[in-house]
Amino acid sequence: MKYRLMDLLACPICKKFPLKLIVFTEFSIKPSEKISRCELYCSFHDIDLTKTDRNPECVKCYGVEIKDALIICEECGRWYPVEEEIPRMLPDHLRNKNEDLEFLARWKNKTPEKILTEGKPFSLEKSM
């Protein structure tokens, strides 16, 4: 997954934008020739581009691929896994509880406590 995808993603449930991104693993790639700046939000530098004249270094962003991460909606408390570079932003009824709980358990040490205990649609505390 590319950092710049966060400039487009909103919570599929409550439509909140921007979402919070916590990266667990990433790797370097060769940046593409064409580089353009995100329009609203730069998750690589965590900047609301509508409230600053700061020009982030986009070439750094284009040289990174996110492998595993957590996308969090701070409005409704939902979380979405990113595994093997693919964000899984499904509605609650289409999510696989066992897979989601395995993901949370695997990244427990890097996941905010609030998601572990109160995250929607599943949390480690509610599953025990």
Domain count, the chain: 1
Question: Residue 75 sits in a domain of what CATH number?
Answer: 2.20.25
Enter the DSSP assignment of 32: P
Say how many residues make up the chain: 128
Q: What is the DSSP string of 76-123?
A: T-BEEEEETTEE----GGGS-HHHHHHHHHHTGGGS-HHHHHH-BS--
Taking only the tens place, the pLDDT of each residue in 7-61 is 999 999 999 999 999 999 999 998 877 888 899 999 999 999 999 887 788 888 8
Instruction: Determine contact, residues 95/13, Cβ cutoff 8 Å.
Output: no
As given in the structure block, the two tokens for residue 32 are 């593409």
Is 44 in contact with 1 (CB distance < 8 Å)? no
In Å, what is the CA distance from 52 to each residue of 19, 21, 63, 78? Answer: 18, 20, 23, 28
Looking at residue 30, what DSSP letter applies?
P
Global confidence as pTM: 0.92
Domain range for 116: 3-127
Q: In whole angstroms, what is the distance from residue 92 CA to residue 121 CA?
A: 6
Q: What's the pLDDT tens digit per position in 80-103?
A: 999 999 999 999 999 999 999 999
CA distances from 70 to 57, 66, 94 (A): 23, 10, 18
